[in-house]
Amino acid sequence: MVVGDFPIETDTLVIGSGPGGYVAAIRAAQTGQKVTIVEKEYIGGVCLNVGCIPSKALISVGHRFAHAQDSDDMGIVAKEVSINFEKAQEFKNGVVKKLTGGVEQLLKGNKVEIVNGEAYFVDENTVKVMDEKNSQTYKFKNAIIATGSRPVEIPSFKFSDRVLSSTGALDLKEVPKKLVVIGGGYIGTELGTAYANLGSEVTILEGTKDILAGFEKGMTQIVKKHLKKKGVEVVTEAMAKGVEESKDGVTVTYEAKGEEQKVDADYVLVTVGRRPNTDELGLEELGLKMGERGLIDVDKQCRTNISSIYAIGDIVEGPQLAHKASYEGKVAAEAIAGEKSEVDYLAIPAVCFTDPELATVGLSEDQAKEEGFEVTAAKFPFGANGRALALNATDGFVKLVSRKSDGLLLGAQIVGQGASDMIAELGLAIETGVTVEDLAMTIHAHPTLGEIAMEAAEVALGTPIHIVK
C-alpha cells in the first residue's frame, strides 16, 4: 500500500474475493470498468479455501476409502485398507492451491487490481483500506460488497483446539476416533458423513425434528438409512448444553427426550449456521439500510438504498450458496455498466453432498400447492435404471413437479448418486419453460443416470416404459 494517504481512484471497488466478489470483479472488468478488489484474508474466500472446495475434496477421499473397504459384492476384496491422512490433507490443500492460484491469475489477466487489507466505508464513494502497517483511501464510483459469512459460535461451545468450526474440521491432523457434530444441516451432515467414511464414530445432534431442513422427507429418509449403515447416530430434538474439554478430548452434554445425556469424543464440530460479515464495514454510520440478522437490503439489481453501493452473496437475503453469490455478482457488475440485468431465482439449485447426494431446484410439491398450482408429482427410481444398477448405486429417485394443466415443469428433486450433476438439466428445463412432454421426448444417452429424468417425465405423462404404471 501507499504510505502517505493520497486517494486512489477506481471505477468499481469490490470488497471480498470469494465466489461472489471475484466473479463480480471479472465481469465488471469485462464491461470496461477499472476495477479494484479488496481482500482481507485469502483470494477465493471461504468457498475455495475453507468451505465448498476443500470439503468436497475430503468427501471424495472418504468415498474412495469407504468403497475400497466395501466392494465385496462387486468382486473387489481389499485387505487391510489404510489411509495416510497427512497425504489426504496434502491432496485437499493441493486442490485449494490450484484453484485459488487460478482465481488470482484470472483477476490479474482481466487487469483487476488486487489489494490486501480491511475496508471501512468513509462515505458513499470512499473507503479506507487498512492492513497492519498502513491505511490507504480509495475513491470509487460504485462499490460491490461481497464479504460473505462466518460460522455462528455458540456461547457454551467457544471454538478451540477441540471445539471446531467447519474450518477447523477440514484441517485436522488425524481422523478422529469419535466425532460429535452439533447441527444436522448440510454442512454438519456432509462433514459428518465424510468422517464416518474415513472411519470415525460420528454422533449428530440436531435441535429440530429432522436433519437436512429444506429437503423433502422422502429424500432425507434415504440419507438417514445410509448414515445408520455407516454407524452414524442421529439424535433429533437434542439441545446441546455444554462441553468439557481435556487434553485428549471432549465430553458433550445435551438434553433429549427430557433427559440429560453425555457423549465423549475426540472433537466436537459446531455447525449451527453462519452469520453475515457486515458488522465491521462502517455500514450503519453510512446509513445503509439493513434488515434482520445483519443482512443488507437490495433491489433486483443488487443495489442498496445508496445508489453507488451494491451487495451480493451471503450478506443479502436468500440461501447462502456460492453459485447464488456468483450469479448476483454478474448481475451487479452488469447493472453498474448500465445493462438491464436483474436477479431471477426461478431455478436456483441447492445440493447436499451426502451419501447419496441430494439436489433440488424450483418448487417442491408442497411449495407448488401452496402457491396455488394444481400439480402432478412423478417419481422414477434409480433401482430401475441400468446405469445405476451397474454402479451398484440403486438407492434414490428423481421426482418431477409439473403443472397439471399443461405439464410445465415447476420443480425437481433428486436423491441418488450424481444428483449434484443431474440437477443442472432440470434447472435448465425450468429456466426455459420446458414441459414434461419436452423432457420425455428428449433423447437421452443409454445407459446413463440422466435417463432417470426422462423416465420420470414419462411417469408424469402416464406412459412409463421401465416401471409398471
Q: Where in the sequence numbering do the catalytic residues fall?
A: 446
Task: Say whether 386 counts as a known binding-site residue.
Answer: no
Task: Say whether 190 counts as a known binding-site residue.
Answer: yes
CA distance linking residue 124 with residue 271, whole number of Å: 35
Task: Say whether 211 counts as a known binding-site residue.
Answer: no
CA distance linking residue 204 with residue 188, whole number of Å: 8
| Residue in 368, 348, 359 with CA at minimum distance from that of residue 431 | 348
Contact 385, 451 (CB under 8 A): yes
DSSP output for 307-363: TTEEE-GGGSSS---HHHHHHHHHHHHHHHTT-------TT--EEE-SSS-EEEEE-
Contact 362, 371 (CB under 8 A): no
Task: Say whether 304 counts as a known binding-site residue.
Answer: no
CA distance linking residue 100 with residue 104, whole number of Å: 6
Burial of 61-84, coded b for 16+ CB within 10 Å and e otherwise, reads bbbebbeeeeeeeeeeeeeeeeee
Task: Say whether 184 counts as a known binding-site residue.
Answer: yes
Q: Give the H or E element holding residue 285.
A: helix 283-286
Handedness of CA 51, 54, 60, 64 (dihedral sign): negative
Task: Say whether 149 counts as a known binding-site residue.
Answer: yes
Contact 378, 453 (CB under 8 A): no
DSSP 444: P
341, three cell numbers: 440485468
Handedness of CA 299, 305, 306, 307 (dihedral sign): positive
Contact 163, 152 (CB under 8 A): no
Task: Say whether 260 counts as a known binding-site residue.
Answer: no
Task: Say whether 402 counts as a known binding-site residue.
Answer: no
CA distance linking residue 17 with residue 22, whole number of Å: 5
Task: Say whether 101 counts as a known binding-site residue.
Answer: no
Count of beta carbons in the 10 Å neighbourhood of residue 225: 12
Contact 398, 412 (CB under 8 A): yes
Task: Say whether 273 counts as a known binding-site residue.
Answer: yes
Contact 398, 409 (CB under 8 A): no
Task: Say whether 183 counts as a known binding-site residue.
Answer: yes
End-to-end CA distance of the chain: 69
How far from the centroid of its chain's Cα atoms is residue 211's Cα? 16
**Which residue numbers belong to the known binding site for NAD(+)?**
183-190, 206, 273
**Which residue numbers belong to the known binding site?**
56, 147-149, 183-190, 206, 273, 314
**Which residue numbers belong to the known binding site for FAD?**
56, 147-149, 314
